[in-house]
């Protein structure tokens, strides 16, 4: 090798070394250090403070699709043949969220019932009302002048209807299912991560009622679950905490590491019913009518166009949903023009809308979270609108610990139709309404109960300037029947018919349901139309699907933040 070549190689190696050194100094990111304090999250001697810098974004929960948020005109109907002006058009901003691709089916709901029966067997006196409270009302198929007894016996449990949407479920039952689903999904995540042992393989969990994992309880105090049996936990996440000098080493097979926290980004968000604004926004899917930054035309259905039949060459004339086409006509003439369903039909039988959601028009109508009011005021909140908030907090005992509902402290409530339901399942955290002290001098709320806020409460009446103490009874804008209650076991009520003349059945327990169903005329297929029913009632044409919040950015498709570099 000549001196010139040697010089070139040396210069090249020097350049490479300088590049590496420069990159290590100038391109250092914040993976190991706090950007504002300089403390390292991996240095055990510095306290072992954890910091999750490896979060790669929220994954879509099982069976759900991402609904990217945006603005739309809520309540913008095409027709108003009833002339009740029930849907005042209001511009709304909806945040991104996840929504079930299809309605909850009979097979999925049966899994829920099987779990409830195994964990809270109805033959145990402590749990008999827990399982029964979850069972759908199969008698909704009965008709005094119809022959539908086979549906009452088979629709829920026969495999022929396994992929059909579950019906006979009240709003209360749908809400409880969403809560239960949160715990089952997170339970499975922890088992897959190795934090939890497979629960139904453990002999110790054969004890009745012990296998009742609850997400809130786990995050608050994992030792409260499983009757304090720590062997249920196999191992934890790696901990940065330094073991104290002289402390004994953990025994073989004992739980090591640390439990999962919210800050790890591992557990899924709580499942719930979608709000009315979310459901309508997802059903309309105006994204397919976007032209630059405007919406072209007005959508009448979940699909594009103003007709219910397919316009494509291959499927021209086929119905795009199942609905009642006329009096005595639930499916059409047999053959080509039939929609294939005299009642409900298995999910995914028709094409999805632009968001990838099935049956947002037709099949069954669906419960949403909102309490019903005749109109949505133009002065109402225009960001993620929802009516039905009751703000709560975790109950704390005298020792400063959260209170868990156990077998001895399960509280039940009797609904207005006489059905008994648990207020919370054993293993869950007990919540209580926030107090006036909690809301003192806040500028966003001043009380816990906000269901009737600005529409039905004292401030909404002509007596707005009176104190409640000055009035013998609190005035009500909506004079729906109030069931008499007797203080006693399980909140027992006296069942009797109301004989007074009533102007409305609207109450704080009236819940909105959206979308047309198999027994509705075309008019109700418009996602902007809205109806209501008491939260404790069930029908053969209302089902539901679950939603959960999108955390972080609206979408990961664009607008990624630039990496800030530390310069010395």
In a domain, 405, yes or no: no
Predicted confidence (pLDDT) per residue in 363-402, tens digit: 999 999 999 998 777 677 899 999 999 999 999 999 889 9
Q: Residue 278: pLDDT above 80?
A: yes
Which of 17-31, 155-169, 477-491 ranks highest by mean pLDDT? Answer: 155-169
In a domain, 470, yes or no: yes
What DSSP assignment string belongs to 353-420? -TTS-S-SSSS-EEEEEEEP-S---TTS--BS--S--B-EEE-B-TTS-B-B--GGG--EEE-TTS-E
Q: Which residues contact 235 (CB under 8 A, 6 or more apart)?
A: 194, 195, 255, 256, 257
> What phi and psi values does residue 470 have, to the nearest 5 degrees?
-75, -15
In a domain, 564, yes or no: no
Token pair of 168 as six digits: 């006979």
Total count of domains within the chain = 1
In a domain, 155, yes or no: no
Token pair of 118 as six digits: 């195994």
In a domain, 465, yes or no: yes
Residue 27: what pLDDT?
A: 45
* Range scoring the smallest mean pLDDT among 15-24, 64-73, 116-125: 15-24
In a domain, 461, yes or no: yes
Predicted confidence (pLDDT) per residue in 327-374, tens digit: 998 888 887 667 888 999 999 999 999 999 999 999 999 999 999 998
Q: What is the mean pLDDT of residues 77-103?
A: 87
Residue 535 zone, left/alpha/beta (φ > 0; ψ -120 to 50; rest): alpha
Q: What is the mean pLDDT of residues 269-287?
A: 95
Q: Tell me which residue range forms the domain holding 477.
A: 452-507
- Name the one residue in this structure whose structure tokens are 């955390």: 551
- Give the rounded percent of residues in the chain with a pLDDT score beyond 90: 47
In a domain, 522, yes or no: no
In a domain, 484, yes or no: yes
* Range scoring the smallest mean pLDDT among 334-338, 407-411, 437-441: 334-338
Look at 516 and 31; give whichever has higher pLDDT: 516
> What phi and psi values does residue 13 have, to the nearest 5 degrees?
-65, -40
Predicted confidence (pLDDT) per residue in 180-222, tens digit: 999 999 999 999 998 988 877 655 445 555 678 999 999 999 9
């Amino acid at each position: 090798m000549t001196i010139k070549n040697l010089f070139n190689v040396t210069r090249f190696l020097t350049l490479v070394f300088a590049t590496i050194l420069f990159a290590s100094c100038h391109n250092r990111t914040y993976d190991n250090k706090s950007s504002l304090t300089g403390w390292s999250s991996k240095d055990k001697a510095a306290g072992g403070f954890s910091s999750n810098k490896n979060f790669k974004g929220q994954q879509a929960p099982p069976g759900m699709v991402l609904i990217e948020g945006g603005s739309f005109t809520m309540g913008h109907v095409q027709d108003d043949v009833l002339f009740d002006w029930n849907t005042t058009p209001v511009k709304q901003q909806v945040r991104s969220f996840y929504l079930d691709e299809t309605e909850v089916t009979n097979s999925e709901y049966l899994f829920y019932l099987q779990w409830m029966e195994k964990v809270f067997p109805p033959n145990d006196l402590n749990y008999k009302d827990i399982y029964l409270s979850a069972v759908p009302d199969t008698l909704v198929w009965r008709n005094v002048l119809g022959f539908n007894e086979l549906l009452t016996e088979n629709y829920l449990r026969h495999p022929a209807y396994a992929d059909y949407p579950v019906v006979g479920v009240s709003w209360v039952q749908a809400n409880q299912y969403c809560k239960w689903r949160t715990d089952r999904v997170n339970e499975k995540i922890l088992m897959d991560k190795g934090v939890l042992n497979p629960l139904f393989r453990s002999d110790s969990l054969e004890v009745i009622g012990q296998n009742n994992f609850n997400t809130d309880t786990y995050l608050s105090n994992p030792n409260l679950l499983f009757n304090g049996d720590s062997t249920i936990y196999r191992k934890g996440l790696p901990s940065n905490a330094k073991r104290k000098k002289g402390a004994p080493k953990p025994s073989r097979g004992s739980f090591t590491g640390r439990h999962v926290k919210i800050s790890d980004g591992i557990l899924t968000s709580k499942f719930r019913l979608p709000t009315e604004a979310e459901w309508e926004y997802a059903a309309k899917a105006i994204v397919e009518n976007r032209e630059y930054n405007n919406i072209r035309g007005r959508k009448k259905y979940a699909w594009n166009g103003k007709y219910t039949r397919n316009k494509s060459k291959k499927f021209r004339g086929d119905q795009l949903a199942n609905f009642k086409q006329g009096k005595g006509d639930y499916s059409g003439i047999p053959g080509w023009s039939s929609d294939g369903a005299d009642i409900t039909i298995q999910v995914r039988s028709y094409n999805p809308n632009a968001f990838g959601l099935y049956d947002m028009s037709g099949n069954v109508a669906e419960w949403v979270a909102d309490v019903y009011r005749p109109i949505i005021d133009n002065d109402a909140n225009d960001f993620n609108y929802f009516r039905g908030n009751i703000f709560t907090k975790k109950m704390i005992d005298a020792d400063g610990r959260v209170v868990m509902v156990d077998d001895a402290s399960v509280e039940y409530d009797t609904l207005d139709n006489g059905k008994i339901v648990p207020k919370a399942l054993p293993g869950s955290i007990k919540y209580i309404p926030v107090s006036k002290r909690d809301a003192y001098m806040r500028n966003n709320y001043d009380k816990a109960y906000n269901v009737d806020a600005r529409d039905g409460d004292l401030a909404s009446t002509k007596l707005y300037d009176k104190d409640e103490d000055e009035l013998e009874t609190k005035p009500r804008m909506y004079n729906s029947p109030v069931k008499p209650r007797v203080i006693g076991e399980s909140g027992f009520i006296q069942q009797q018919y109301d004989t007074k003349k009533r102007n409305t059945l609207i109450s704080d327990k009236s819940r909105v349901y959206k979308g047309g169903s198999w027994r509705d005329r075309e008019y109700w297929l418009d996602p902007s139309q809205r109806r209501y029913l008491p939260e404790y009632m069930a029908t053969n044409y209302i089902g539901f699907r679950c939603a959960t919040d999108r955390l972080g950015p609206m979408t990961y498709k664009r607008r990624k933040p630039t990496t800030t570099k530390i310069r010395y």
